Each structure stands twice: as C-alpha cells, then as structure tokens.
Amino acid sequence: MTAEVGSGAREGRNLSPLELHVPEPKFRPGDTADYSDLFIPVAGVAVRPEADARPDSFHELAYSLVRVLDDDGQAVGPWNPKLSPDRLRAILRAMALTRVFDERMFRAQRQGKTSFYMKCLGEEAVAIAATFALEKDDMCFPSYRQQGILIARGWSLVDMMNQIYSNKGDRLQGKQLPIMYSVRDASFFSISGNLTTQYPQAVGWAMASASRGDTRIAATWCGEGSTAEGDFHSACTFASVYRAPVIFNIVNNQWAISSFSGFAGAESTTFAARAIGYGIAGLRVDGNDALAVYAATEWAAERARTNQGPTLIEHFTYRAEGHSTSDDPGQYRSANESADWPLGDPIARLKQHLILLGEWDDARHAAMDLELAELVKASAKEAEKNGILGHGLNQPFETMFEGVFEDMPWHLKEQCQQMLDEQKAAGL
C-alpha cells in the first residue's frame, strides 16, 4: 500500500496563502525623506587589517562603513592615508573639474549639441580618489559614470568632448553613444551600455596580467543595480578561484534609474557582503569621503599586487542628479533626498579638511572654480570647431565598415564600394 507523497503535511493546518515581497522605497515624491534610521558609524572606528589578512578574518568590514573624515573635517583612525597637502589639492581639483565638465556637457545636451549625457554629481570621489590611489598604467574598466578617471589621469577635455559631440575629431568615429569613452593610452577600457560586461572583462585582463608575470592590476566599477546581472557573479567566481589581481567597485548610489537599491537586494544585506559568499575581501566605504575611498583602494591594490586576490568595495553614496539627461528623478524620489543625504558632498568635505589643515581657504577655492570654468569653456569652444551632433555628416561614410576587422574581408569591401557607387550616382 503506497501513501500519497506529501499529501498529509498540510492536513489540519490553517495556512495563509503564499505571497511575494515586493520592495518599496521609503520615500516617494511628496514625502519628506527621513534618514534617522540610517546607521552611520563614527569616523575612524573601523579596523584596518594587514594587507595580507585572510578575507574571513574581517567580515565585519562588509557590514560597517570605513570612514576617515569626521563631521568636523578631521582625518581620523587607522584608515587615514595621510596624504600630502599637494596630493589632497590635486584630488580636490580633479573632483571640481569633473563637476564643472559635467555641468557644461549637461547644458550642451539641453542646447541640442549632443544627444545624451550622464553626470556623476555627488559621486566624484568614487572614481577620482580611487584613481589617485592606483598606478597610471593599472587598467580601469569603468561603467558610464566614471568620467572622473580620465580627468584624474589628465586626459584631454577636448578629446572627451569630441566623443560626446560625435564630431570629426571623435577618435571613435561616432560609433559609441556619447560619454562611452575608450582611451587605451590612459588605460581606460571601452565603456559599454550593456550592464556589467566590464566585470568579467576586468577579471580576464587581470588574469592575463598575472599569467604574464606583469605587475599591473585591474579595477572595475558598476552600480549596485548591476550586481543582479549574471556577469557580476561570473566575474566574482573566476576572481575568487584564480585570485585575480582585480578590485571590484560597487557604486551604491541608492538608485538604478527609477528602481531603488532594494530591487538589487539592499533590504536583505549590504552589497559588500556579496564578497563573503565568494571568499574574497569585502569593504563597505563612505563613498563621499575621498580619503576613505583612497585608503580602501590603496589597501585593495596592495592586496592585488601581492597576490592576495581580489577585493570588493561597496561605495555608499548618493546619485544627486538624475540618471541621465533622459531622466526626471522628481517622478520617483523625494525632493529633499539629495539635499539631506547624511554623508554630505565629497567636494565640500575635502575642502573643509584642507581648510582645517590651513592648506586652503574660500578665496583660493573660488579662484580655482573660476579657473576651471574658463578651462572647460575654452575646451568646449575648441571641440565645437570640429562640429556637434546633428550638424551634418562628421565622418566619411566608409568608416562605417572600419574598426571591426584588422583586415577588411572581401564581402565588406564589396558592400562598401557598392554604397560609395550608389552615393556617387545619387550625387551625394
């Protein structure tokens, strides 16, 4: 006699129907954002393990928050990188320049000079302070909001603007969406609009560097929403297994376009905690504290360079602007969310620190802002001499067939010639 499998387990039980949890942001348009329940640890209390410490010996760092700058602007605690005033001023200048550049290009899009732009307002430290902590030939695999890497490495603003305008000076010949730069000479990998493809690419590059016996490491960035992509997890698996010399940066800016971070798992745990499941080092860092970002990256880079394996850093920050020029954040988030963000503004905080050291003042800061505004204005005028989007053809037609194969195959040569013949016949 055979009993019906599983049929008796529910007999006599009054069970509620199963239901799914659908994440919901705490604040919506019309609400007043209240961060009183957000726990912000005191600056300077996070322990700093030795660079060769086992990843399982500091799991608490994936749940706390590495902070160096306190509320008064003092640099405190074991993570203080103790940078020189000149180094601090250089980081401040690069962040300020990125912000001015963003604002100018945002206005250019509104004026119809380009089709698209994305600011990194409020997130400048995530890319710039990290870049200063890396070597110039370390390979960076950015997402689409890390333009600060190029600016920190002193790349030409005119060249960046040429790409944004897709003009005749665009080295990419108009084949990339504006802001999706590719600069091999600056160790800056091509930006892709497909989310998180850069993660496995960074791991592969890092593995190749190690297999060649090189000393260069890789660093890559993605948003917190992108951690839900399969490429993120594939990259973590390979990096963990082979101890690839790579730094994973997760920019938790609270929003993935109009989807808040809860849809990527933020309600359950921190994004830095994903490192624990893969057995790799994990840190959660105040992303609006340039010194904390620098220190965390410097520490992770030392681990990578001494064959201790990868590090995953969650940068806890806030996207102060819309996702892009195509987005209206007022449709999905509270009006005061940005202004009341408890970790402040990265530029203002580093400025305050330098003033406290006696190495800066309001007058010098204002003079720097004016100088940078003039620099960006002059760069824009120079780039616009090469044309802007929509003002005629900026690249020869035949370039559509170039840049894919090292040697163009015969069938593409035939198609290209056919196109040119048809243009000639049509008088174009």
- Give the other-Cβ count within 10 Å of 228's Cβ: 15
7 inside domain = no
32 inside domain = no
Residue 69 is classified by DSSP as B
4 inside domain = no
In whole angstroms, give the CA distance from residue 67 to residue 74: 11
Q: CA nearest 73: which of 360, 290, 354?
A: 354
DSSP codes joined into one string, 2-64 = -PPTTTTTTTT--PPPP-------S--TTSPP--TT---PPTT-S----TT--GGG-GGGGTS
Looking at the structure, tell me whether residues 101 and 187 fall in a common domain: yes
Looking at the structure, tell me whether residues 281 and 405 fall in a common domain: no
In 78-190, which ranges are continuous DSSP H helix? 85-110, 124-133, 148-152, 157-165
pLDDT in tens, the chain (428 residues): 555 555 556 666 788 899 999 999 999 999 999 999 999 999 999 999 999 999 999 999 999 999 999 999 999 999 999 999 999 999 999 999 999 999 999 999 999 999 999 999 999 999 999 999 999 999 999 999 999 999 999 999 999 999 999 999 999 999 999 999 999 999 999 999 899 999 999 999 999 999 999 999 999 999 999 999 999 999 999 999 999 999 999 999 999 999 999 999 999 999 999 999 999 999 999 999 999 999 999 999 999 999 999 999 999 999 999 999 999 999 999 999 999 999 999 999 999 999 999 999 999 999 999 999 999 999 999 999 999 988 877 888 888 888 889 999 999 999 999 999 998 898 87
Looking at the structure, tell me whether residues 346 and 425 fall in a common domain: no
Looking at the structure, tell me whether residues 173 and 194 fall in a common domain: yes
Which three-class secondary structure string do you get for 236-305? HHHHHHHCCCEEEEEEECCEECCEEHHHHCCCCCCCCCHHHHHCCEEEEEECCCHHHHHHHHHHHHHHHH
Looking at the structure, tell me whether residues 406 and 350 fall in a common domain: no
Looking at the structure, tell me whether residues 358 and 405 fall in a common domain: no
Looking at the structure, tell me whether residues 287 and 259 fall in a common domain: yes
115 inside domain = yes
Sheet-wide strand order for 246-252: 139-141, 218-223, 246-252, 311-316, 281-286
In whole angstroms, give the CA distance from residue 240 to residue 60: 19
Confidence at residue 294, expressed as pLDDT on a 0 to 100 scale: 98
Rg of the chain taking only CA atoms, in angstroms: 24
Residue the block writes with tokens 């203002």: 348
Residue 226 is classified by DSSP as G
Looking at the structure, tell me whether residues 271 and 418 fall in a common domain: no
Distances (CA, A) of 392 to 165, 168, 399: 12, 10, 15
Print the domain residue range for 315: 55-325+332-384
Global confidence as pTM: 0.94
Confidence at residue 249, expressed as pLDDT on a 0 to 100 scale: 98
Q: CA nearest 295: which of 99, 1, 119, 51?
A: 51
Distances (CA, A) of 40 to 32, 266, 278, 292: 20, 16, 26, 14
In whole angstroms, give the CA distance from residue 212 to residue 378: 43
8 inside domain = no
CATH of the domain at 157: 3.40.50.970
Looking at the structure, tell me whether residues 130 and 61 fall in a common domain: yes
116 inside domain = yes
